[in-house]
């Protein structure tokens, strides 16, 4: 009986408040923060920066070879590069591996073993600070950057299908 009284009391308040709650939760498309620029080298020593991919949708994946969820994400990232690459999606894997433990030679062999079809870059302190601040980063962490250079989504950990669902909206 007591529960029924509470429901009768709060239900009208909840119904009246719903439109206000919905307005405050709506996303403003295109209003993401600007993605920090970066200058990183790939495994061949070539420089890559965000302006190089101007007009493209960039998926920036911070990962490590020793990280099980990162390894689980690789087949999906390979698939995304194949499926959406011709529509402007660029997947960039940013290795946070310790260079003393995972040399360029090791990373090249890892890339070949897993048949990775996207560019692998080596992280530096500045990029870590720009993307994660002072917080210790969880990996994998992926940033989806739109064609205007704004972060539209951030994925911490690996959830199958989540990245593709978001990326598909941006590569139309």
Phi, psi of 150 (to 5 degrees): -110, 140
The answer to whether residue 67 is catalytic is: yes
Q: List Cα–Cα distances, 144 to 30, 101, 103, 164, in angstroms.
A: 12, 28, 27, 10
Give the lowest-confidence range in 13-17, 34-38, 59-63, 94-98. 13-17
| pLDDT score at 169 | 93
Burial class (CB in 10 A: 0-12, 13-18, 19+), 6: exposed
Asked if 163 and 144 touch (Cβ cutoff 8 Å), the reply is: yes
Of the candidates 133, 57, 135, 139, the one whose C-alpha atom is nearest the C-alpha of residue 94 is 139
Which whole-number Å values give the CA distances from 135 to 33, 59, 131, 142, in the listed order? 18, 21, 10, 15
Token duo for residue 90: 């660029």
Catalytic residue, from 67, 151, 162, 171: name it: 67
Q: 8-22, 42-56, 120-134: which range is least confident on average?
A: 8-22
Is 25 a residue of the active site?
no
Half-sphere exposure in the Cβ direction for 4 (13 Å, CA): 1
- Per-residue pLDDT for 116 more than 50? yes
3-class secondary structure, 25: helix
| Per annotation, catalytic residue among 40, 64, 70, 123 | 70
Helices (H), the chain: 2-25, 68-84, 104-113, 125-132, 162-170
Axis crossing angle, helix 68-84 with helix 162-170, rounded to the nearest 10: 30
Query: What is the residue extent of each domain of the chain?
Result: 33-170
pTM listed for this prediction: 0.80
CATH of 33-170, one of 3.40.50.720, 3.40.50.2300, 3.40.30.10, 3.40.50.1100: 3.40.30.10
**Is residue 158 scored above 90 in pLDDT?**
yes
User: Mean per-residue pLDDT for 3-10?
Assistant: 44
Question: What is the pLDDT at residue 28?
Answer: 39
């Amino acid at each position: 009986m007591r529960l029924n009284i509470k429901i009768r009391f709060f239900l009208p308040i909840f119904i009246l408040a719903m439109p206000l709650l919905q307005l405050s939760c709506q996303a403003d498309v295109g209003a993401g923060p600007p993605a920090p620029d970066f200058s990183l080298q790939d495994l061949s020593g070539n420089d890559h920066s965000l302006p190089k991919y101007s007009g493209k949708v960039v998926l920036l994946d911070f990962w490590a070879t020793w990280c099980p969820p990162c390894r689980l994400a690789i087949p999906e990232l390979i698939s995304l590069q194949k499926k959406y690459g011709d529509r402007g999606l660029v997947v960039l894997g940013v290795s946070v591996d310790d260079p003393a433990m995972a040399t360029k030679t090791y990373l090249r062999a890892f890339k070949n073993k897993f048949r990775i079809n996207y560019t692998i870059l080596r992280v530096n302190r500045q990029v870590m600070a720009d993307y994660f601040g002072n917080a210790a980063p969880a990996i994998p962490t992926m940033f989806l950057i739109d064609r205007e250079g704004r972060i539209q989504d951030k994925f911490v950990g690996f959830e199958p299908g989540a990245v593709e669902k978001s990326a598909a909206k941006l590569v139309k």
